[in-house]
Structure 1
């Protein structure tokens, strides 16, 4: 009898050890999976922002206007605006990886088309725009699907939150790295950033195929008619504060990409700052944005009231910083004010994200998040061409308009977001 008990005990210990080993192995695999997934927003950020320091060079090489060069950024964003909600809905039906991997392939092809046209054609502008449109399709089916994919992979809310933190860090790292890398590559050949993008996509595809397991389907996706009805219901019940968040998101991205476009232009044309040096200058406001965004994300936790007042204060800080830019042309004063504006945007964005996450039911979160991503892309799309048109009148007018729209964002947050009533 004693012998039997010993055998049973030994077997039970062995099973426990195997279970623990399996759990450790699963945790290790999940960490690699999260790192692989985090490469997607990094790649997509590089795909767009890497071109900002190169735009003045493109104007010179292609013989195009400032407005035409701004369209190289804008066309990417317009396509993404239209397709993000569709990609989100499609990923619910056929699976996240089945949307993400083809999207990365399409984005890579877009980069190759833009690069080849720049290299081989005498007048490549329109083909570059077609390539950028394909990259926009890839962006729609790439980065926005990452959030629901992470939600599928983990059961524990804390694990989801922690993984999204890694992904957001990757995204912000991409924002800081992109102007430096873009300027560095363009220092060799101005169209090299186009060719670099497919390489980054290929690495991301490889990581997704090898290290990310497709999670088991948990819930049946709802039919399109019911899906559309549900969205209408959400906006009927939560419209006021959601519209305010959408407006603030559009304005913050409009100001950010408008300012980056203008800064890239004046650094080269007025201050003769080019190549990697220009990339480092552009990284100053982006670095301020990323650091403030990271710190704010850690501080806000689940405090909706704090989120509202931080967003309001950030928008006012942004308005003040761009409003006084017209009073001096000193380079370091401009950089300091752009950095302060970066902080204003940086503290606001994680609060807007969190207000949606905290204020919308889990089942509906993915849909509203994808719509919010589309709204932000409107700001990205509109910023550069609007700045290119306004700056023809005067720099001062540009800064006053940017100040005015930033105040509009602050007012939308102040009057429409009522954390105690959101429910």
Structure 2
């Protein structure tokens, strides 16, 4: 009888793990698609300027409004996911993002003065991204009970997010090569695929009871920040710095490749994909290594930011093509290793009831870094490149010091009642 019971439990656990794998694949499609929905348009902005007869500032708004809208709405989406449940927020958000893509594509195709309607469509996409992308992290924490599985899965999520960055410049250039506005219509197709995967593959966990009132939300948020503001603020700032450096250095590399070496279109997309591919691999490996160890999360984040700072500083010595690619490749490794650690620290340390809210604030900080990086680097590149290098290196050092000083795991024991584990 004991053998039968063990066998039954083993079979049940095996089926559960198999179902969870499909759920993670479905969830991982969200950051992939949301990244494609924004980054895919970057390499074709010059083409849009010609077709729509708009300025560079106007074309930059097509990217910027997406991130700005998301920054302000992400915390609201996090609260709603804690109150009503993750899927109830993700599903309408994916639909909204798809509608935004259709509106932008239709306006580009049918209207003579399409710019305003494209911006409205991009705002809708930003609303959709705000409700879908940040809910991914707490949803992974809801699905798995073992912290080791959570950390490993978050590595896959960050890998998917980064793979979207790797794929987007290539895919955007290829699709726009057929019809310039076709990337807008590709977004709702991607959203539909993700929507079907979420509905079919992601099941509501048995203990997934979301009944968070606004009063309780405010009380819990105050309590969490009053007791653990140091490490929470550190993780938020590190997340913003990482994305600022990543998108800033990619903007710099993209400009150098086109202006100095004459690479554009698909060729430039493939070259930009090289450092992003290493970032992708580093995220996956780090997710596997950290398991449920808060100490590993701390030290991988610290050394990842040190490697990032050293790599950025090394760009001052040469602008030779191969040298630049190799240096930024190491920068990608540092950033890629750090991201799943920050995700896991938050997921492992925050009670499930508040997990969506806290991780959403983290996601909003990351979006802020994405929005600020390229324009600030563009301004600095008009002067001395050394100023840009000093800024990015300084930010890397600040992030490393925050990881070293503010993140203090204490002991390695799993927190029984999901109280914050870091002081």
| TM-score interval, smaller chain | 0.7 to 0.9
Once the 2 structures are TM-superposed, how far is the Cα of residue 157 of structure 1 from its aligned partner?
4.8
Cross-structure match for 1:325: 315
Residue aligned with 2:383, SS: coil
Q: For 2:403 and 2:155, how far apart are their aligned partners in 1?
A: 24
Cross-structure match for 1:265: 255
Cross-structure match for 2:376: 386
Cross-structure match for 1:300: 290
Q: Provide the TM-score with structure 2 as the length reference.
A: 0.86
Q: Note closer, same or farther for the CA distance 1:352–1:165 as it changes in structure 2 (3 Å cut).
A: closer
Q: For 1:321 and 1:173, how far apart are their aligned partners in 2?
A: 21
Equivalent residue in structure 2 for 1:347, among 337, 342, 348 = 337
Cross-structure match for 1:239: 229
Residue aligned with 2:402, SS: helix
Q: For 2:207 and 2:130, how far apart are their aligned partners in 1?
A: 22
Is 390-399 or 134-143 further displaced after alignment? 390-399
Q: Paired residues, what number?
A: 413
Once the 2 structures are TM-superposed, how far is the Cα of residue 193 of structure 1 from its aligned partner?
1.5
Cross-structure match for 2:280: 290
Note if contact 2:159-2:283 (Cα within 8 Å) is conserved in structure 1: no
Equivalent residue in structure 1 for 2:117, among 109, 127, 130 = 127
Cross-structure match for 1:417: 407
How do 1:364-403 residues align onto structure 2 when only pairs under 5 Å count?
Answer: 364-403=354-393
1:181 aligns with 2:171: yes
1:200 aligns with 2:190: yes
Cross-structure match for 1:87: 77
Residue aligned with 1:141, SS: helix
Q: For 2:138 and 2:346, how far apart are their aligned partners in 1?
A: 14
How do 1:1-400 residues align onto structure 2 when only pairs under 5 Å count?
Answer: 28-155=18-145, 157=147, 160-161=150-151, 163-216=153-206, 218-400=208-390
Cα offsets for 1:120-144 (capped at 9, x unmatched): 3444333322221111111111122
Q: For 2:321 and 2:299, how far apart are their aligned partners in 1?
A: 31
Residue aligned with 2:296, SS: helix
Q: For 2:202 and 2:349, how far apart are their aligned partners in 1?
A: 30
Is 109-118 or 251-260 further displaced after alignment? 109-118
Q: Note closer, same or farther for the CA distance 1:405–1:162 as it changes in structure 2 (3 Å cut).
A: closer
Note if contact 2:98-2:192 (Cα within 8 Å) is conserved in structure 1: yes
Residue aligned with 1:142, SS: helix
Cα offsets for 1:372-408 (capped at 9, x unmatched): 1111111011112222222222433222222222222
Once the 2 structures are TM-superposed, how far is the Cα of residue 156 of structure 1 from its aligned partner?
5.1
Once the 2 structures are TM-superposed, how far is the Cα of residue 214 of structure 1 from its aligned partner?
4.0
Q: Note closer, same or farther for the CA distance 1:327–1:153 as it changes in structure 2 (3 Å cut).
A: closer
Note if contact 1:100-1:142 (Cα within 8 Å) is conserved in structure 2: yes
Note if contact 2:283-2:339 (Cα within 8 Å) is conserved in structure 1: yes
Note if contact 2:156-2:284 (Cα within 8 Å) is conserved in structure 1: no
Cross-structure match for 2:394: 404
Once the 2 structures are TM-superposed, how far is the Cα of residue 311 of structure 1 from its aligned partner?
2.1
RMSD of equivalent CA atoms: 3.0
Flag structure 1 segments of 5+ consecutive residues without an equivalent: 1-8
Flag structure 2 segments of 5+ consecutive residues without an equivalent: 412-421
Once the 2 structures are TM-superposed, how far is the Cα of residue 24 of structure 1 from its aligned partner?
6.4
Cα offsets for 1:141-163 (capped at 9, x unmatched): 11222333344445555555554
Look at both structures and tell me which one has the larger radius of gyration over its CA atoms: 1
